[in-house]
Amino acid sequence: MSSAAVLGPTLAFLAELAGDGQALEFAIGTGRVGVPLRERGVPVMGIELSEHMAAVLRRKIDEDFLPVIIGDMATTVVPGEFTLVYLVYNTITNLLTQDEQVECFRNAARHLEPGGRFVIELGVPPLRFLPPGQVAVPFDVSEQHLGFDTFDLVEQILVSHHLTRDGDDGRYRRENSRHRYAWPTELDLMARIAGLELERRVADWDGAPFTRDSAKHISVWRKPT
Ligand SMILES: C[S@@+](CC[C@H](N)C(=O)[O-])C[C@H]1O[C@@H](n2cnc3c(N)ncnc32)[C@H](O)[C@@H]1O
């Protein structure tokens, strides 16, 4: 995700939407996207829940150059108006209820100037890989790592399980993470609730068309002028 092949088109897409304005990254993490976007000349601010992640970012770039506020992206308000708010790398799914995800859209809209855009990068829920009777969908079966997803279809919760081999002693470390998955059309309704309109949906940062077989989408909603 940090390779030039991934970041190049991501930064070009976001920089064009930011135009001459400021960008706000929700869940900026260690600045994988925010730092190079700032270095490209786009003024960027970030909101991040984890002080630890923000501390790693801070080792890369000065506070004056890229301010980060510690807080929840669904509720934290930062000063200023933005032409672009963006939330990438499936991170809307870290909000585990529909209410929190709606609040996140509202918070994005709150920070946008009229005509500004909210951009989300998100995988399409991989439910076509879950036939009736099967409880898990593997996504990686390799020597060092076993990864599979399990689903609560009622609550729209996906749990990603990882078993990772650290050394040569045959032992595996187990980790998992919970996510609330949502279809693109559900996000469009959340956007409407927040007063935003769908402007564009593509399958990747290069702008490939979004189709029934797309594994992910980049969606752009606009705040009306
Ligand atoms: C997968 S990382 C993505 C980081 C960065 N946006 C990127 O693309 O590399 C997810 C980040 O979301 C942060 N996060 C999770 N829930 C959050 C919330 N409710 N508000 C703000 N940040 C959150 C995590 O601490 C973590 O840094």
Q: What pLDDT sits at residue 201? A: 98
142 or 170: which leads in pLDDT: 142
Q: Which of 25, 51, 75, 91 to mutate to test the pocket of ligand 1 (most atoms within 8 A of CB)?
A: 91
User: Ligand 1 within 6 A of 50 CB?
Assistant: yes
Lookup: tokens for 22: 């400021």
How many Å lie between the centroid of ligand 1 and the Cα of residue 94? 8
**3-state SS assignment for residue 87:** strand
Mean pLDDT of all residues belonging to the chain: 96
pLDDT tens profile 110-131: 999 999 999 999 999 999 999 9
pLDDT tens profile 39-52: 999 999 999 999 99
Q: How far apart are CA 62 and CA 109, in angstroms?
A: 27
Check pLDDT > 90 for residue 189.
Answer: yes
Q: What pLDDT sits at residue 62? A: 96
Q: What pLDDT sits at residue 1? A: 83
Q: Which of 38, 48, 76 to mutate to test the pocket of ligand 1 (most atoms within 8 A of CB)?
A: 48
Q: What is the pTM assigned to this prediction? A: 0.96
Q: Yes or no: say if 86 and 25 are a contact pair by the CB < 8 Å rule.
A: yes
- Atom 12 of ligand 1: nearest residue by CA position: 27
User: Ligand 1 within 6 A of 10 CB?
Assistant: no
In sequence order, what E strands does 44-185 have? 44-48, 68-70, 82-87, 112-123, 136-141, 145-152, 157-165, 172-180
